[in-house]
Amino acid sequence: MIFRQITHDDLGCASYLIGDEDAGVAAVVDPKLDIDEYLSLARYLGVQIEHILETHNHADHVSGHGRLAAATGATIHIHKAAEPAYDHEAFEDGWELELGALRVRALHTPGHRPEHTAFLLIDTGRGDEHPWAVLSGDTLFVGDVARPDLAVEKQEGAREIFRSLRAKLLCLPGEVEVWPGHLGGSMCGGPGMDMKVSSTIGFELAHNEDLQIDDEDAFVEQALANLGPQPPNFKNIVALNRGELVSETVEAHPLAPRQVERRRATGALLVDVRTELQFDEAHIPGAVCITMLRAGFGTKLAWLADPDGDVVFIGRDDADGRRAAGLAAAIGIHRVGGYLSGGMTAWREEARDVEHTRRMTVPDLHRAWDGGDIQILDVREDSEWQSGHVPGSIHTPYHDLDALPDGIDAKQPLAVICASGQRAAVGASLAQRHGASDVRHIVDGGVPLWERNGWPIETPAGTAA
């Protein structure tokens, strides 16, 4: 039997190649947009990809089902409630697919989305009716459960998730392995999602906090309390995944520095994908810092890019630009105006204008704050802000910074802080883009480090020393 997990690390997505080597047949579950790995692995194993299974219409990334179907001739299968515009074979709860000795059984698990389906795997060579694994999609994760607010009213979605878990997944034998559709870092779950790639039903029942709640109303209350911001651009991504199949991807073209300047002048968003340190040392005026070298690039880009506007990428070299365009396509950003040919070095060689961002540590910030010499902009999420923040700071999540917040003086020093320094890099670049003249990027930590040092923290209930 063949079983391989294939991840898209930037978005925290997991897909699967499953099948039977002896029968020479395989299926891909929830394919990512870049299909090369599936094709290479199928060739290596000597199998034909004949089926594509979708757990649901994804809301956080563009599926590769169109490209994979065009490359292999495979049939796409999805629950009938998905109602896609492309050619497919619809199934209902209990449907089965034979892949040689591997039997796949559909378990309809609505809640995350109405069509959501998990897939139970039975190795008939070892036991005809004893499942060994479930591909749980976006219903059950390692350490967490799905969010309920992407396709239905959120309370009803949470109730459906509770019922799907209790009626379909948690009644499976404890030794059944759980292989989820997302790993830690994805926006399709909550803060409890683990980076671990798999678990078991028994372990999750014993240790997943959400599964300890056996009362439906209490489960709903907990599910709604933990909701973060919805995945950016999710309605457009769902529409792409339900629409006519697309087999081509975006091709980014190289741009000379003067062409990048022209694109900037006509409103293109310049996204610098280098490290935060490289960006702070020198960047094109007005560019936004979203490093590609850490997970979450695509999610941050989706928050900030206008789907109807052009994006131009600035990297260290041409390879950075091309890779960034591929990651952008995975979250539905197709208006790629190109990338800076030769990278930032080409811009510097022509002696074009650059901006710099000052870097400041948390202890440095404390000294400036203690002297009343600096403004502080906290760009974390609402839940983080509510749990405690630096007294006197102003709060706007980085993805909502479409202008300088009220209360910020653009001419005075402004420190931008988050929890670690990564989101602060994005926020600092946006503050500069919106006119702040003296921006400090807080690095090597953030509010948690401030609190650990015993410095004052303000909460909605008051101030803690």
The answer on 266 and 391 residing in a single domain is no
pLDDT of residue 400: 94
247 occurs within a structural domain: no
Residue 281 belongs to domain with CATH number: 3.40.250.10
pLDDT of residue 462: 57
Average model confidence (pLDDT) across the chain: 93
Query: What is the CA 436 to chain-centroid distance, rounded?
Result: 29
The answer on 366 and 330 residing in a single domain is no
Q: How many CB atoms lie within 10 A of CB 4?
A: 16
Given a cut of 80, is residue 350 above it in pLDDT?
Answer: yes
100 occurs within a structural domain: yes
Both tokens assigned to 169: 């997944």
The answer on 362 and 337 residing in a single domain is no
249 occurs within a structural domain: no
> Which residue type is seen at 453?
N
The answer on 297 and 221 residing in a single domain is no
Pairing between β-strand 439-443 and β-strand 457-459 as defined by DSSP bridges:
unpaired
Query: How much of the chain, in percent, has pLDDT values that exceed 70?
Result: 97
Number of domains in the chain: 3
Least confident of 11-25, 72-86, 108-122, 326-340: 326-340
pTM of the model: 0.88
The answer on 222 and 259 residing in a single domain is no
Could you read off the pLDDT of 126-184 as tens digits, one per residue?
877 789 999 999 999 999 998 888 777 899 999 999 999 999 999 999 999 999 999 87
Say which residue, 76 or 236, is predicted with more confidence.
Answer: 76
The answer on 63 and 195 residing in a single domain is yes
Residue 160 belongs to domain with CATH number: 3.60.15.10
Choosing from 241, 262, 294, the residue where a domain stops is: 241
User: CA distances (Å), 75 to each of 21, 85, 285, 435, in order?
Assistant: 19, 14, 48, 52
- What average pLDDT score do residues 318-330 get? 93
CA distance 235 to 248: 21
295 occurs within a structural domain: yes
The answer on 142 and 75 residing in a single domain is yes
The answer on 99 and 125 residing in a single domain is yes
Q: How confident is the model at residue 362 (pLDDT cuts 50, 70, 90)?
A: very high
246 occurs within a structural domain: no
299 occurs within a structural domain: yes
The answer on 291 and 225 residing in a single domain is no
Say which residue, 397 or 233, is predicted with more confidence.
Answer: 397
Domain extent for 344: 254-349
Per-residue b or e along 106-134, where b marks 16 or more CB atoms closer than 10 Å to that residue's CB: bbbbbbbbbbbbbbbbbbeeeeeeebbbb
The answer on 365 and 345 residing in a single domain is no
Contact 394, 377 (CB under 8 A): yes
Choosing from 288, 323, 349, the residue where a domain stops is: 349
Give me the residues paired with residue 15 across strands: 6
The answer on 57 and 28 residing in a single domain is yes
Which residue's entry shows tokens 């239905």?
152
Both tokens assigned to 324: 């960034």
Given a cut of 60, is residue 219 above it in pLDDT?
Answer: yes
270 occurs within a structural domain: yes
Contact 406, 390 (CB under 8 A): no
142 occurs within a structural domain: yes
The answer on 75 and 159 residing in a single domain is yes
Choosing from 349, 381, 413, the residue where a domain stops is: 349
User: CA distances (Å), 278 to each of 23, 115, 349, 417, in order?
Assistant: 52, 44, 16, 18
Query: What is the CA 288 to chain-centroid distance, rounded?
Result: 19
